[in-house]
Amino acid sequence: MTNDFMEQANDKSPLTLLGLGAMGTALARTWLAAGYPLTVWNRTAARAEALAPEGAKVAASAAEAVAASELVVLCLLDDASIDATLDGVDLTGKDLVNLTTSTPEQGRARAEWARERGARFVDAGIMAVPPMIGVPEAGGYIFYSGSLELFDAHQEVLAVPVGTKYVGEDAGFAALYDVALLSSMYGMFGGITHALALIGKEDIAAKDLAPLLADWLNAMSSSVHLFAEQFDSGDQEGDSASNLAMQVAGIPTFRDTAAGQGISTELLDPYFDLMKRQLAQSRDANSTGGTVDLLRTR
Ligand SMILES: NC(=O)c1ccc[n+]([C@@H]2O[C@H](COP(=O)([O-])OP(=O)(O)OC[C@H]3O[C@@H](n4cnc5c(N)ncnc54)[C@H](OP(=O)(O)O)[C@@H]3O)[C@@H](O)[C@H]2O)c1
């Protein structure tokens, strides 16, 4: 190692990363490439040792890895694997950043768990897949919530792999934002699946429909803002250009077309049913955003 490189490395604050699966390994490589002193630990040691040639310091145990740095990043499979990894490990004075996917309740409980052990804590939700890590133009980022002091203190190092978005002191919010965005994605996947099923028996290549679908979904994505405005304001008038009664009147067209193509409408039916319930509540309602209220279970 040259003196120049050592000086550069010494400028950067050290960190520890526990968990070197696909995501953890991608994250580790960006910190190593940027010259951050990185201590790593993984349950299966071979995955940690694979990073040693790139400059990672391999700890023999999770406790040794945690002891090596103030900033400790977790990227494990699930909430239970955090207990399995950190049971009995001294966390006093540590800054814990949990990139492990969790529920809002798990994020809040983990914040309390960390506080009881003398550590500051932020939970996180990763809006990226491993190939997007270290590739700024790919647009990935990570939601963070919990201790603002911790986030401010380490924002520079946290921003190395992908962008950062801090969404509040409530440690459950990062997971909530994460699951909200991913849930909307599954709605979109359902729509794409239905569209491809519709053309499935015809002499239409899916790859020919794909660009049309992508452009249409892009054009319709601005509905997000309309729904949000209606939801925030409680506006029931909504968008009279595409009023709810007109949309409900169109439901048989979707059902009959699907039946004609020999496919089920099971992916669309729940949303159609909500639209009908919303219209039944108020004939004047134009706001499909109002259907949000119908989903409340408590
Ligand atoms: N990959 C993605 O596209 C993606 C995207 C967004 C968020 N995430 C989140 O990132 C986290 C890590 O994902 P990943 O893709 O890296 O998963 P992965 O490749 O399956 O790796 C899982 C990691 O967790 C460790 N682990 C599992 N059970 C454990 C236990 N009981 N005790 C200690 N360590 C345990 C594994 O260790 P071993 O090597 O010993 O098995 C491995 O390091 C997950 O919470 C995931 O939801 C992933």
Mean pLDDT (whole number) for 199-204: 96
Query: Over the stretch 245-258, which tens digit does the pLDDT of each residue have?
Result: 899 999 999 999 99
* Residue 18 alpha carbon to ligand 1 centre in Å: 10
Cβ atoms of 18 and 65 within 8 Å: the answer is: yes
Cβ atoms of 287 and 244 within 8 Å: the answer is: yes
CB 19 less than 6 A from any atom of ligand 1:
yes
* Residue 168 alpha carbon to ligand 1 centre in Å: 25
Q: Taking all residues of the chain, what is their mean pLDDT, rounded to a whole number?
A: 93
Distances (CA, A) of 44 to 49, 261, 269: 9, 50, 45
What is the rounded distance in angstroms from the CA atom of residue 222 to the CA atom of residue 87? 46
Helix, strand, coil shares of the chain, percent, nearest 5, are 55, 10, 30
pLDDT at position 238 is 63
Q: Which residue has the higher pLDDT, 10 or 184?
A: 184
Q: What's this model's pTM, rounded to 2 decimal places?
A: 0.91
pLDDT at position 2 is 44
* Residue 260 alpha carbon to ligand 1 centre in Å: 44
pLDDT at 131 over 50: yes
Residue type, 214: A
pLDDT at position 288 is 61
* Residue 130 alpha carbon to ligand 1 centre in Å: 12
Mean pLDDT (whole number) for 131-146: 97
Q: Which atom of ligand 1 is nearest to the CA of 129?
A: 3
* Residue 101 alpha carbon to ligand 1 centre in Å: 9
Q: What percent of the chain stands above pLDDT 70? A: 92
Cβ atoms of 126 and 132 within 8 Å: the answer is: no
Long-range own/partner contacts, residues 59-66 (CB < 8 A, 24 or more apart): 59/16, 62/18, 62/86, 62/89, 63/88, 63/89, 63/90, 65/16, 65/17, 65/18, 65/39, 65/40, 65/41, 66/16, 66/18, 66/90, 66/91, 66/94
Q: Which residue has the higher pLDDT, 239 or 99?
A: 99
Q: Which of 103-117, 125-139, 261-275, 283-297 has the lowest mean pLDDT?
A: 283-297
Query: Over the stretch 21-68, which tens digit does the pLDDT of each residue have?
Result: 999 999 999 999 999 999 999 999 999 999 999 999 999 999 999 999
Q: Measured between alpha carbons, how far apart are the two ends of the chain, in Å?
A: 60
Confidence of residue 3 (pLDDT cuts 50, 70, 90): very low
Residue type, 55: G
Q: Which atom of ligand 1 is nearest to the CA of 23?
A: 16
Mean pLDDT (whole number) for 88-109: 98
pLDDT at position 7 is 46
Per-residue DSSP letters for 160-223? TTSEEEE--S-TTHHHHHHHHHHHHHHHHHHHHHHHHHHHTTSS--HHHHHHHHHHHHHHHTTH
Q: Which residues contact 289 (CB under 8 A, 6 or more apart)?
A: 226, 227, 228, 229, 230, 231, 235, 238
Mean pLDDT (whole number) for 69-95: 98
CB 85 less than 6 A from any atom of ligand 1:
yes
pLDDT at position 286 is 66
pLDDT at position 1 is 45
Token pair of 72 as six digits: 């400790």
Q: What percent of the chain stands above pLDDT 90? A: 81
Query: Over the stretch 157-168, which tens digit does the pLDDT of each residue have?
Result: 999 999 999 999
Query: Over the stretch 263-288, which tens digit does the pLDDT of each residue have?
Result: 999 999 999 999 999 889 876 666 66
Token pair of 18 as six digits: 């526990």
Q: Which atom of ligand 1 is nearest to the CA of 44?
A: 40
